[in-house]
Amino acid sequence: MTVQGTADRKEIRVLQLYPRDMNIYGDYGNALVLKRRLEWYGYHPVMLTYDPGDEFPTDPDILIGGGGQDSGQDKIQADLLGIAEKLRGLAEQEVPMLMICGLYQLFGHFFETREGFRIQGIGVLDVETYGTDNRLIGNVVSESEQFGQIIGYENHSGQTYLGSGVEPLAARVTTGEGNNQNDDGEGARYKNVLGSYLHGSLLPKNPAIADFLIDTAVHQKFGERITALQAPETAGMTLKNLTDQARVTAATRPR
């Protein structure tokens, strides 16, 4: 790969929400994949983080967030409500976002615990989540019209139901449960905000979603589209072949 001075590359600012408390199942991988793929598409990624009490970074181009322990969710919930207006504004401006698991839930209207206690979310996504006694754990394969097969791993006891203001990220789960045990959907989408229960990490094995986030950001900021990916080869295989092999394996593993 030709090394270009990073200074003359166009900047894309990637903001990780609450990485200190909300990144339990390899959510870091999503940040790393965005960083590397931005480089391989010829952009200069600027990786930003926001934790409770921080000043909210200006002009983020992509936002991502992950899952956490219950204790982690308690820590960030009040802070999240404090930046809700900013996040709603960014969502309305069609800024691309990917929220996994715990932050997917808190991007909805509320999480109701089994005892009936409601933890308020920020309502960017028209979804509601209910705590249950069943932990849904295991490999997931799902079908999405836009992204094709989405493959990941779920581990959650909250079950999420979609309102009319969102569509599922993947309409049909073929292995696993997804949002809940009663319908076939996985995740949710409003404008360019994606919510999902899938870790894996999600983006390494689902580059279509990574490229959607990147392409949307690049289009909004510079009015251009991403072109060819200049990724290194591995053991004589292109990154695409390697990724396809990893997807084939993951899709055939037991739940």
Catalytic residues: 101, 199
- Distance, CA of 192 to CA of 90 (rounded, Å): 10
User: How far is 192 from 97, CA to CA, in rounded Å?
Assistant: 6
135 labelled binding-site residue: yes
Q: How far is the CB of 84 from Zn ion (least distance, A)?
A: 21
Shortest Å, Cβ 189 to Zn ion? 18
Please identify, using beta-carbon distances, which residue of 63 and 162 lies nearer to other proteins. Answer: 63
Looking at 11, 42, 49, 112, which residue binds other proteins (CB under 8 A)?
Answer: 49
Looking up tokens 């510079």 gives: 222
Query: Binding of Zn ion at residue 158 (CB under 5 A)?
Result: no
Query: Do residues 99 and 193 lie in contact, with contact meaning Cβ atoms separated by under 8 Å?
Result: yes
Q: Which is nearer to other proteins, 37 or 109 (CB)?
A: 37
By the rule CB under 8 A, 16 interacts with other proteins:
yes
- Report the residue from 24, 119, 208, 229 that binds other proteins according to the rule CB under 8 A: 24
- CA–CA distances in Å: residue 193 to residues 76, 83, 94, 224, 254: 20, 16, 8, 20, 30
Strand intervals (E) in the chain: 11-17, 44-50, 62-65, 97-100, 110-112, 118-120, 127-144, 148-162, 172-175, 188-190, 193-196
Contact, 178 vs 1, CB < 8 A?
no
Helix, strand or coil for residue 191?
coil
Residue 69 interacts with which of Zn ion, other proteins, none, CB < 5 to 8 Å by class: other proteins
Quick check: 161 binds other proteins (CB under 8 A)? no
Of Zn ion, other proteins, none, which one does residue 19 interact with (CB within 5 to 8 Å by kind)? other proteins
- Which of 29, 45, 65, 67 forms a contact with Zn ion (CB under 5 A)? 67
Binding annotation for substrate: 135
